[in-house]
Amino acid sequence: MDKKIIPLTALPYNKNAKIVSLHGGHGFQHKLRTIGIREGQRIKIISRQPLRGPITVMVGNCQMTLGRGMAQKIMVEIL
């Protein structure tokens, strides 16, 4: 099976993925983890705003909106 690791921004709609790693500063990673975006969690894209706007994801039971720059630093693997 193809185990390609891609940034969250490249994940197609409605495809389940697993978070593999987080990039960026320590504080930033910490913030992501406390809101539920952590290695091993399943993640799905709900919406993408145009013109490099934010994306909304579903992690666990929780939906959240985050900027593209942040999403770029979340590496996922399509399941």
List of residues contacting other proteins (CB under 8 A): 27, 30-31, 33-36, 38, 46-54, 56, 60-70
Residue closer to other proteins (CB basis): 4 or 14:
14
42 strand-pairing partners = 18
Q: What is the smallest separation between the CB atom of 9 and other proteins, expressed in angstroms? A: 12
Nearer to other proteins, 4 or 49 (CB): 49
Residues 15, 49, 56, 29: is their CA dihedral positive or negative?
A: positive
Alpha carbon distance 7, 19 (integer Å): 9
**Whether 37 contacts 19, CB under 8 Å:** yes
Our CB check for other proteins shows the closer of 5 and 60 to be: 60
